[in-house]
Amino acid sequence: MDDLRGKSVVITGAGSGFGRAFALRAAAEGMKLVLADIQADALDATCALLPADTEVLARVVDVADGAAVEGLATDAVAAFGPVHLVFNNAGVGAGGLLWENSEADWAWALGVNLWGVIHGIRAFVPRMLAWADADPAYRGHVVNTASMAGLLNPPLSGVYNVSKHAVVSLSETLHHDLALVSDRVHASVLCPYYVPTGIAHSARNRPTGQACDATRSQKVAEALVEKAVESGRVSASDVAALTFEAVREGRFYIVSHPKALGAVVQRAEALAALAPPDDPFAGRAGLRESLREALAG
């Protein structure tokens, strides 16, 4: 996809973090924006940052609800016609020792992180393929937000890891499936590392009635993620810029921290050797010991 001006984009999780950065970048590109988020005030705040002449449709949507995402697709087409770029981006964080995560923890994280992407694919990809069949000039692209946690498995992040590994698998399969039927609709998977986005506080949007007292391990995990995320030197705007560049160039894997791929290589080598998983914190002196102390109280 070369010239994005005048084309339409759908962005979920647009109220903060990467979603807001994608929205600002898309507006700067002259695109027509369809923005969705579960948090109305955050969505309003994103819209307030857009240039005054931006064509935008904003909807409060729970991406875990398939019917709601289908409704978003219907509204997007009614407002701006064919959609050219889709960011299945909404995501939440969940941590702690695996056996301490409740069924509600799993349902919430998988509902947003995985089912949100599934619903986005089911709602938009068939339409994109139909537009490509009807118009030889049409080009479409889907970007699914995963994480470096979709390529690695750090401890105290099991629910999140599982959801993001599933998004990587889903995206790779989507890439292969699209290649069987079209050369004008493509997909990418975004795997950011620690970037200041506010995901450490995503429990603010947890469904009513699902809140529960955090265990010690969940508190330790939240503090670990918050510290790592807030100390990140790569910004959401930086990630948005490299993501739009990747879309233009048709690249599938998008990573914010290429140096972190060394750990991915080590994981692959351990797997090929049928060895136990490498310690993903091996390069961070003293971290494992401090985590053990924190868990022990």
CA nearest to 194, candidates 112, 99, 105, 263: 263
15 neighbors 202 (Cβ within 8 angstroms): no
104 neighbors 212 (Cβ within 8 angstroms): yes
Q: β-strands 8-12, 56-60: how paired?
A: unpaired
Q: How far apart are CA 200 and CA 112, in angstroms?
A: 15
Q: How far apart are CA 256 and CA 293, in angstroms?
A: 31
CA nearest to 294, candidates 155, 137, 174, 165: 155
Mark whether 160 is an active-site residue. Answer: yes
174 neighbors 237 (Cβ within 8 angstroms): no
DSSP 250: T
Q: How far apart are CA 156 and CA 42, in angstroms?
A: 28
Helix, coil or strand: residue 187:
strand
The catalytic residue among 160, 193, 194, 253 is 160
Q: Which residues are the active-site residues?
A: 160
